[in-house]
Structure 1
Amino acid sequence: MAGKSNKGRNRRVAHNAANSSDAVVPTDAPVKDNSSASEPIKADANGVSAVEESTEAKPEAKESETENSTSQPKQGDLHLYPVSVKTQSGEKLELQLNPGDSVMDIRQFLLDAPETCFFTCYDLLLHTKDGSTHHLEDFNEISEVSDITIGGCSLEMVPALYDDRSIRAHVHRTRELLSLSTLHASLSTSLALQYETSQNKVSSPGDTTKTEVPELDGLGFMEDVAGSLSNLLSSPSKEIKCVESIVFSSFNPPPSYRRLVGDLIYLDVVTMEGNKHCITGTTKMFYVNSSTGNTLDPRPSKSNLEATTLVGLLQKISSKFKKAFREILERRASAHPFENVQSLLPPNSWLGLYPVPDHERDAARAEDALTLLW
């Protein structure tokens, strides 16, 4: 029995030794990284904790972000810089431009300005602070040519040469400006202004005041129906007439020997004074020729009147035109900005005047309606 007991005791010892050998961690198992534990120990040894280091890094990042935000402008902000413009007539305008504006934007603004609305054929020159001059193309941006943020930049309008297309567009633009006094009622805000002025007159302090009775307010709601219908249409604005007619002359097209000299078009103009003039449009200017009757005489008239624009020539020919055209520009400047926007199609209102006004002859209207522009 004693021998058996020793063998059993030896077996239990060997079994415990095998279990202890199995509990040893194998070399292939991943060893846990103790660097995270050693880092706080090192930080504590230096006297600074890891939490304090992270809090110190955050203010530095915030300071760098604030510096970047102050150095870079916001995306929605637009900085405008003053740039003076010298027109063909010698006047000076001041525009507020952004470096991202294109030359087409500048041309559109000059086309809407009263001082330059009748200039259609010109080149734009940019004069910089260092004295250099740049010719601006229509599809360029200002920043591509020069830096206007440094200041000292100016624009100059230089007359360009007309061609067949541009001179007809110039005549069409002139007719359009002269017809602004007969603006359609559906495009005008004068109706609202008329209503406000009439209401102010009714509620003037000089009128006798009457007591208001809430129970009787709804009894007379049909009394002013006729008056409200009559006020539905605003009274037509007074027409400002600058010239009797501007039509293409029957001398067109210019003969070949006159085309070689530069003649592009002939116009027949009747002024408000009743004078008839035949105007020659060349590649450089407009002037009054000496034609009378059915014979073309391309020589300049004795008065020797000429101008780079048709409006400028008509102002020299007729004093009434000059006065009336100034009134048209004043009315244009006082109108709402949306009223001056060119519409693709003319408006047709369902409201009209009664009795129907007479349809009179207008050669310019017929030419514009029957001429294909495409």
Structure 2
Amino acid sequence: MTTAGNVIKCKAAVAWAPKQPLSIEDIEVAPPKAHEVRVKMVATGICRSDDHVLSGSISSVKFPVILGHEGAGIVESVGPGVRNIKPGDKVITLFQPQCGECRNCLDPKSNMCLKSDIGKHTGMMLDNSSRFTCKGRLIQHFVHTSTFTEYTVLDEMAVAKIQDDAPLDKVCLISCGFSTGYGSALNTAKVKQGSTCAVFGLGGVGLSVVIGCKVAGAAKIIGVDTNSDKFAKAKEVGATECINPKHYKEPIHKVLERLTEGGLDYSFECIGNTSVMASALLSTNYSCGTSVIVGVAPSAAELNLNPMEILTGRTLKGAIFGGWKGRDCVPKLVADFMAKKFELDGLISHRLPLQKINEGFDLLHKGESLRTVLYFC
């Protein structure tokens, strides 16, 4: 029996409140409305941003909510008006959508669609309603995606169609973690050949920055992390050396300044810690260095800097999703992966079924995972 046009009952990991474990629940997923797509999820990654919501650090997100944004799946049905996507297509979810019509989408320098829910956190589809219910209650969406569920509904602008032979359990990382790091090096910093770089935080996003720096031809790529167990993997994907701030008495920016004879060309903060952001900036050359904020800090965090640290010539930048325009660029990134221009396998440390999602978050908290990919039984 076809499911198109009908409510689908399925399993989902529901966050009922912050600072509580996710609960596997039976939910109802309504059919897609005009310009919407319903997707059967195949794989989704656990990202630090999801954990920020669960911990209460991103206080603007409303509960109950279905989190998850780094996903890939197969289109089950489409609503009226959907033109370029059909049932059976493989797709990647886009937490940073691309409507293709707003001022930012039309500007080649921006990928921040004005219809994005990042920062607003309305928790709704574009028509200001939800497609999820559980136990008679409305469930919020998360940044246009909500991938911790067997079926989800997305606005067409938040879906990128990809090639049919792409392995969804790997390319799901292109939905967030890999693209964010990789693009921060290539698009945001525009790392130059022969340059010196440092990457603060060697999780999945940080390692993706390392890969981007290597592809760009950086001569020195220094991994920085307080967990030395991460160094072997960082060197495997392209870091030329790694250092642990705990092993030095002087501030880490002084160490890096000495190692690079006056400061780095580029630094990347991939943690979401404002004190580390300041250190990353100070580690760059005072007259021409560029530092990129990649990590997501808590909502109430503030970055305090002496203006002279930038006045001398440093550049401080940031970018969501590595500067990529989702619907335009994600299919090309998948094609590059299929052409073996970069690898994703080394970024995946664990694979778990949706039912064990809380174990995946525990691994993240303990610093034992790079990326945990959830699959749907």
Give the TM-score, by structure 1 length.
0.24
Structure number with higher relative contact order (C-alpha < 8 Å, ≥ 6 residues apart): 2
Higher Cα Rg, which structure: 1
Give the TM-score, by structure 2 length.
0.23
